[in-house]
Amino acid sequence: MANPKQSDASNATPSPSQFDNMTQGISIGILLDSGKESISNYREEFHFQLNGEDETGAAYNGSQDYLIEVDKTADSQHEIETIQSPSRYLSGIHEYAKADGFFYIVRDEYQGGRICEKRELPADTSHYADFSVIRTILTITPGELLEKNMRVNGVLADVYEIKDISLLTVRELNKVSGKVWIAQEPAYFLKAEGEIEGVVEFENRYYKGNGTFTYEMKDFDQVEVQLPALCAYPPEEMIPLPPNATEIRNEPPRIHFSSPDSADQVQIYYLNELASQGWEILEVPPNEFEKVVQARITTQQDIEILLEIKIHSMVDYSKVNIHWQAQ
């Protein structure tokens, strides 16, 4: 998965803006991020809704929402998107963050729940994409000037009609209408809203219908990037381990270790320790082959954790396998 990279705006080399073409009367599609090099702290929000039918005439609807929070001065970034689409690979909630030299991914675990993966960023991230969420708008072609000197989110902007727009997955654009707010000094896309009619493609299947979209940059110089709760408060750190645990392997969402205590002793340890820490102990049917403890808790960060501990008796020690699920 690509991860975000932002450079310090103070070290950026000025380059000609695509908006210069507008002043010269040239009508071309302008990249969504054109002119934003000096914008160092902001939030970006996007919503896209599609309604129509597939090739067989069956009704279809899909949507995408994303939020991006950027603080270039701290070299940190947070992104979250929710997608509903015919593609099983795209649908769902996806969350990413970058902070303190690490990249974080919150993803669904195969057996249920969600986990946070933490990866150290390499020294050279020039080959990494700026963003990890799918940014559906590729380019916007401004048309006729509609209004001048409109203040939006504290920024002075001019409003233009949307003459054309390029959207990811849209294979045929039959109609577009809408407005785009272009900031002044420097020029960049501050806000956009509109409607489209056309054909989109997912996994070699085509869907015809209508769509609406909104795009907005806001909260300039107000963003303090926070890690996703699952990354800032790892569930495994809430799970106690016996003081005499050995051969500990932490492989989220699983923990494995050995103990010189008997299976009964380990089970009693967990029943007492978890209860004292506020976990709810769940009833488990008797099992003649292993000792099992199940518990759950909802943290102050509203993370719900379900815990299952399986304790196996060996000749003179116990092997313990812990599996947790977090939502």
The closest alpha carbon to 210, from 180, 170, 161, 181, belongs to 170
Query: What percent of the chain is predicted at pLDDT more than 90?
Result: 73
| CA Rg value for the chain | 26
If one compares 85 and 222, the residue with the highest pLDDT of the two is: 222
First to last CA, the chain: 22
> Would you state the pLDDT for residue 88?
75
Classify residue 31 by burial, with Cβ atoms within 10 Å: 0-12, 13-18, 19+.
middle
Residue 1 pLDDT > 50, yes or no?
A: no
> pLDDT tens digit string along 19-69?
887 777 778 899 999 999 999 999 999 999 999 998 888 888 889 999 999
Average pLDDT over residues 252-272: 96
- Whether 42 and 219 have beta carbons less than 8 Å apart is answered as yes
The residues, any chain, with a CB within 8 Å of residue 1's CB and separated by 6 or more, are 96, 105, 132
Mean pLDDT of 227-247: 95
The CB-based long-range contact list for 276-281 (8 Å cut-off, 24+ gap) reads 277/238, 277/240, 279/307
Q: What is the DSSP letter of 186?
A: S
pLDDT tens digit string along 113-170?
Answer: 999 999 998 877 777 778 899 899 999 999 999 999 999 999 999 999 999 999 998 9
Question: Would the pLDDT of 9 be above 50?
Answer: no
Q: Concatenated DSSP letters for 138-182?
A: EEEEEEEEEEEEEEETTEEEEEEEEEEEEETTEEEEEEEEEEEEE
**Domain spans of the chain, in order of start:** 9-218, 233-326
Between the CA of residue 244 and those of 23, 47, 165, 262, 292, what are the distances in Å?
A: 73, 52, 63, 12, 19
pLDDT in the model for residue 223 = 96
Instruction: Identify the weakest region by mean pLDDT among 32-36, 191-195, 283-287.
Output: 283-287
CATH for 233-326? 3.30.310
Q: Is the pLDDT of residue 2 over 50?
A: no
Question: Which of 4-8, 154-158, 207-211, 312-316 has maximum average pLDDT?
Answer: 154-158
Please give the single-letter amino acid code of residue 149: N
Do residues 185 and 223 touch, judged by C-beta distance below 8 A?
Answer: no
